[in-house]
Amino acid sequence: MLSVNNLEVVYDDVVLVLRGVSLDVPHGTVVALLGANGAGKTTLLRAVTGLLVAHRGKITKGSVRLDGTDITRADPAQVVRGGVGQVMEGRRVFAEMTVEENLRTGAHTRRRAEYRESVDRVFDLFPVLAERRRATAGYLSGGEQQMLAIGRALMARPRLLLLDEPSLGLAPRLVEQVGEIIAQINGQGTSVLLVEQNAVMALSIASRGYVLEVGKVVRDGPAGELLADEDIREFYLGSTDDTGRRSLAEVKSYRRKKRWSA
Ligand SMILES: Nc1ncnc2c1ncn2[C@@H]1O[C@H](COP(=O)(O)OP(=O)(O)OP(=O)(O)O)[C@@H](O)[C@H]1O
Ligand SMILES: [Mg+2]
């Protein structure tokens, strides 16, 4: 479905942020992209969606393919038309608009029946949005706004959904709920690339995971394997506070480090 090959991204013509990243999202799967702050996760999503330009970023090497079609330098509208939906960092909703109006901005169809079907699907996934359909989005809770942001992305009926840290700032119960909903969306046939710092949530719904560190993939494998991995557990579970975050490279022993970067 999505295939990223040896991607190199530079900001402001000088800052090398992705240093040869390769990653695959097979059709119908959930793939987790993990990594600490500043690893380059959001940058990778921007590179896929054509949004780098808006951030003075540029792909300097490598390629991005969607179902075999090269989209390496496609503009955002082309990528959306190709069936890629996204929820960017920080649950962007139109605060002044109602829930329903927000959803309407996500729809790309003029056909009433199709629109209705999409809204019904979103309300089915998020009953709380149905209840609050006429509420002003700015007054929703953080969790509800995140659901609305995901719902709006679903309105365009994407075949591939890119999610940037959907669990950020949510209470544990809500994190779990967001995880269940992502699994449900995937069950309805949408492939998902899930960027997360919550490794447990992400890996428990993903089939594969990648760990990004300073612009390079330092680890990848079946989600179950990563979830059972002691170093990953120590790194992602041992430091839940933002100040305590260490590098995965510091956590693992030198021998292991050699094995991983081989
Ligand atoms: N527009 C930009 N111009 C210059 N540097 C940038 C820009 N955007 C991001 N960076 C830098 O690129 C690196 C990767 O940033 P990115 O936002 O992709 O990381 P991330 O993995 O998403 O981090 P986080 O978990 O904090 O969201 C960081 O060092 C960041 O400072
Ligand atoms: Mg980010």
Report which ligand 1 atom has the smallest distance to the Cα of 197.
25
Per-residue pLDDT of the chain (262 residues; tens, 9 = 90+): 999 999 999 999 999 999 999 999 999 999 999 998 899 999 999 999 999 999 999 999 999 999 999 999 999 999 999 999 999 988 789 999 999 999 999 987 778 888 999 999 999 999 999 999 999 999 999 899 999 999 999 999 999 999 999 998 888 888 999 999 999 999 999 999 999 988 989 999 999 999 999 999 999 999 999 988 888 777 776 544 444 445 565 555 444 444 444 3
Give CA–CA dist 86/167, Å, rounded: 15
Kindly list the structural domains of the chain, giving each domain's residue range(s) and its CATH number in brackets, ordered by start. 22-52+78-261 (3.40.50.300)
DSSP 142: H
**Which contiguous run of DSSP H or E holds residue 104?**
helix 99-106
Give CA–CA dist 84/162, Å, rounded: 7
C-alpha pair distances (Å), 100 with each of 5, 69, 87, 148: 38, 34, 17, 9
Report CA(121)–ligand 1 centroid distance (Å). 34
Tell me which ligand sits closest to the C-alpha of residue 10: 1
* Ligand 1 atom 5 nearest Cα: 11
Report CA(117)–ligand 2 centroid distance (Å). 32
Which segments within the chain are labelled E, that is strand?
2-11, 15-25, 30-34, 57-66, 69-70, 84-87, 160-164, 191-196, 208-213, 216-222
